[in-house]
């Protein structure tokens, strides 16, 4: 991973531009560099969750209190949020989530496919605006537009960070043949 012009740094810059004050996450390899950047800055409060479901209610609470938030999760976590995701409709509050995808073409772990493949459909079913990005040079604009839709347009928005962008997790030759 290069230290310059990393797309995760682009996301961090967008979050700061949009005055994000609370960042929710579970440990995630794809988001780890971004999470560390958020943890190191004084302008953002980062909260590690026990399950992604918490993040929906935290985001609603932050908004009630006048703060913007973002939830960082993996596609497998989307399934954990679904009933709570309904809060975005019932309360009609701005919501932004950035989702690192698993279970897309090239994925080595069969357990990641069901929720990975279901993620866009499930989000759409809950009324979330879904956008995605698979090229590093498009990340900044895509996330910025998503943040505008959320915080200016009042929408619930998910950005899927495609596996092609993140890179395929590789356990090398350890898998049984």
Partner 1 sequence: MSSKATLQRRPLVAKILEGADDNLLVIAGLGSANWDITAAGDRPLNMPLWGAMGAPVSMGTGLALAQPTKRVLVITGDGDMLMSLGSLATVATQQPENLAIVVLDNEKFGETGNQATHTSPRNNGPTESGAGTDLSVIAKGCGIADSTTVRDQSEVAQLVKDLRTKKGPVFRLVKVMVEKLEFVMPPQDGAHLKDRFRQALLGRP
Contact residues for partner 1, defined by CB under 8 A? 21-22, 45, 47-51, 53-67, 69, 83-84, 86-87, 90-93
Residue number with CB closer to partner 1 (46 or 117): 46
Min dist CB 85 to partner 1, Å, is: 10
Residue number with CB closer to partner 1 (37 or 87): 87
Start-to-end CA distance of the chain, whole Å, equals: 29
Min dist CB 17 to partner 1, Å, is: 19
Confirm if 15 and 46 have CB atoms less than 8 A apart.
Answer: no
| 69 exposure class (CB count in 10 Å sphere: 0-12, 13-18, 19+) | buried
Residue number with CB closer to partner 1 (86 or 106): 86
Min dist CB 19 to partner 1, Å, is: 12
Residue number with CB closer to partner 1 (72 or 161): 72
CA-to-CA separations, 71 to 106, 162, 174, in angstroms, rounded: 25, 16, 33
Min dist CB 177 to partner 1, Å, is: 39
Residue number with CB closer to partner 1 (32 or 117): 32
- What is the rounded CA–CA span in Å between residue 51 and residue 77? 8
Angle in degrees, CA 159, 4, 167, rounded to 5: 45
- What is the rounded CA–CA span in Å between residue 44 and residue 166? 24
Min dist CB 56 to partner 1, Å, is: 7
């Amino acid at each position: 991973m290069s230290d310059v012009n990393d797309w995760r740094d682009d996301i961090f810059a967008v979050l700061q531009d949009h005055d994000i004050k609370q960042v929710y996450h579970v440990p995630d390899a794809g988001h780890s560099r971004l999470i560390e950047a958020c943890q190191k800055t004084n302008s953002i409060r980062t909260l590690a969750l026990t399950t992604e479901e918490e993040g929906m209610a935290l985001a609603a609470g932050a908004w009630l209190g006048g703060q913007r938030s973002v939830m960082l999760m993996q596609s497998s976590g989307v399934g954990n949020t679904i009933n709570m995701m309904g809060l975005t409709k019932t309360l009609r509050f701005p919501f932004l989530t950035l989702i690192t995808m698993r279970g897309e073409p090239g994925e080595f772990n069969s357990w990641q496919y069901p929720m990975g493949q279901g993620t866009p459909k499930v989000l759409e079913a809950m009324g979330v605006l879904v956008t995605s990005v698979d090229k590093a040079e498009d990340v900044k604009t895509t996330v910025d537009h998503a943040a505008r839709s959320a915080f200016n347009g009042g929408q619930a928005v998910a950005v899927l960070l495609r596996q092609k962008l993140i890179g395929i997790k590789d356990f090398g030759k350890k898998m049984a043949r």
